[in-house]
Amino acid sequence: MGLFKADFYRFFVIGFAVGAGLVFTTMDGSIGSSLADGMVAPAHAETVEAR
């Protein structure tokens, strides 16, 4: 009897692989920006007016 069952290790490896794939996909310039554009609105800076 081990500390964890084999399913734990299998799902850990699958989750790690999927997570690493998502990180590398979002780090790519064109694919990452297209994914971010759908989820997050672009930021716009406002100008400061002197009083």
The residues near 25 (Cβ < 8 Å, ≥ 6 apart) are 31, 32, 35
Tokens for 49, please give them. Answer: 């007016």
Domain ranges of the chain: 1-30
Report pLDDT digits (tens) over 2-42.
676 788 888 999 999 999 988 887 776 565 556 556 666 77
| Statement: the pTM of the whole predicted model exceeds 0.75 | no
pLDDT value of position 1: 52
What φ, ψ does residue 40 adopt, rounded to 5°? -125, 130
With beta carbons less than 8 A apart as the criterion, state whether 32 and 26 touch: yes
pLDDT at residue 17, rounded to an integer: 95
DSSP string, the chain: --SS-HHHHHHHHHHHHHHHHHHHHHHSHHHHHHHHHHHSPPP-PPPPPP-
